[in-house]
């Protein structure tokens, strides 16, 4: 693939050089007498000359005519490419010939579940056969009211959590706990906020309407009592037993801001009666915040 890409780039450059060096006066009379393209042909040309600009579109625009083939006849296709093409036009036409077939890869990507992947990758033959109890621990601190490229962080987190819950197999129970959801991020409310955590969806099967109602209640408002949330989640999960796995997913955009020790609490949770794995999903965090969340996951036996 590496050499094919280099070859295509070379062809593209040669086309541009040929175009730049060909005097306009040398156009043949035959070329001037070519019929104007029909409306249908123009539509085809427009489609060909509009390459995708987003990742999903790029995966869907193949396969090209010669994708995955070793036949040498593709050289004739290159010889038939018209002169005078712009870089974008040449690229689009090369895509029609050589774009790879990513349909199967796209299908696998759509089915990929990043939340269950740590468990699946460690025990692919047995992971979904055991009973799973999953608790989502959602950061409701004021910083979650901020925005990233795709929108408000809290709303993005809610959408992702709901989508995840809807994909769970029948042998999975789910719980939802929030922390930092009371008071405000003002210093006068710190005491209240730093002790706030609540189980808003008790461990049970996924019920779409009830789960959505629980999530909709959450507002991003206070400080980040991450340690308190992790410690209290121990109460929500059953004791460890053979054939059952407890998992806690911490969803957060930052570090502890209430003076607690979330690393120690994650370790206690993992080694305690529930033997829960603590995985951390962090987003829009700086380098220091990333290192802090990684330490929590490591102490909790997770990723």
What's the rounded Cα separation, in Å, for the pair 49 and 302? 47
pLDDT score, position 139: 92
Q: Identify the domain boundary among 78, 104, 130.
A: 104
pLDDT score, position 122: 41
Domain check: are 158 and 216 in the same one? yes
Residue 283 near residue 254, CB atoms below 8 Å: no
Domain check: are 126 and 268 in the same one? yes
Domain check: are 119 and 97 in the same one? no
pLDDT score, position 251: 92
Domain check: are 185 and 236 in the same one? yes
Domain check: are 93 and 160 in the same one? no
Question: First and final CA of the chain: distance in angstroms?
Answer: 33
Instruction: Tell me the average confidence (pLDDT) per consecutive run of 10 residues in the chain, 303 residues long.
Output: 43 41 42 46 49 81 79 76 86 85 78 53 48 93 85 88 87 94 89 94 95 93 94 95 92 90 96 94 85 93 92
What's the rounded Cα separation, in Å, for the pair 59 and 251? 29
pLDDT score, position 175: 97
Domain check: are 62 and 131 in the same one? no
What's the rounded Cα separation, in Å, for the pair 72 and 230? 61
What's the rounded Cα separation, in Å, for the pair 196 and 224? 9
Q: What is the CATH number of the domain that holds 258?
A: 3.40.50.410
Residues contacting 258, CB < 8 A, separation 6+: 190, 193, 194, 223, 224, 225, 226, 227, 228
Domain check: are 247 and 147 in the same one? yes
**How many C-beta neighbours within 10 Å does residue 286 have?**
10
Residue 269 near residue 250, CB atoms below 8 Å: no
Q: Identify the domain boundary among 75, 104, 133.
A: 104
Domain check: are 154 and 288 in the same one? yes
What's the rounded Cα separation, in Å, for the pair 24 and 110? 50
128 burial level (CB within 10 Å; 0-12, 13-18, 19+): middle
pLDDT score, position 74: 76
Residues contacting 230, CB < 8 A, separation 6+: 137, 248, 250, 262, 265, 266, 269, 278, 296, 300
Range of the domain at 213: 113-299
Domain check: are 154 and 289 in the same one? yes
Residues contacting 147, CB < 8 A, separation 6+: 153
Domain check: are 65 and 157 in the same one? no
Domain check: are 71 and 204 in the same one? no
Domain check: are 151 and 64 in the same one? no
Domain count, the chain: 2
């Amino acid at each position: 693939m590496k050499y094919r890409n280099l070859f295509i780039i070379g062809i593209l450059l040669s086309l541009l050089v040929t175009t730049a060096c060909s005097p306009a006066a040398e156009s043949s009379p035959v070329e001037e007498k070519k019929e104007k393209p029909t409306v249908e042909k123009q539509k085809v040309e427009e489609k060909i000359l509009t390459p995708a600009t987003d990742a999903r579109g790029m995966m869907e625009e193949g396969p090209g005519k010669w994708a995955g083939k070793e036949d040498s006849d593709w050289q004739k296709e290159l010889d038939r490419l018209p002169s005078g093409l712009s870089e974008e036009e040449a690229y689009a036409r090369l895509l029609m010939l050589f774009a790879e077939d990513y349909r199967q890869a796209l299908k696998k990507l759509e089915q990929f579940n990043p939340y269950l992947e740590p468990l699946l990758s460690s025990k692919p033959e047995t992971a979904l056969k055991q009973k799973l109890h999953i608790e989502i621990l959602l950061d409701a601190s004021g910083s979650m009211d901020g925005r990233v490229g795709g929108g408000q962080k809290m709303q993005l987190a809610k959408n992702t959590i709901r989508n995840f819950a809807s994909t769970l197999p029948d042998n999975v129970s789910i719980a939802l706990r929030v922390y930092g959801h009371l008071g405000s991020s003002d210093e006068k409310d710190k005491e209240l906020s730093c002790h706030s955590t609540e189980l808003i969806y008790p461990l049970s099967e996924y019920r779409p309407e009830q789960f959505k109602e629980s999530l909709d209640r959450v507002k991003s408002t206070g400080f980040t009592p991450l340690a308190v949330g992790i410690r209290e989640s121990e109460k929500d999960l059953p004791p460890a037993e053979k054939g059952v796995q407890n998992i806690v997913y911490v969803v957060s955009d930052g570090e502890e801001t209430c003076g607690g020790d979330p690393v120690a609490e994650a370790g206690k949770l993992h080694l305690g009666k529930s033997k829960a794995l603590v995985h951390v999903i962090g987003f829009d965090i700086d380098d220091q915040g990333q290192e802090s969340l990684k330490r929590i996951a490591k102490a909790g036996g997770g990723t």
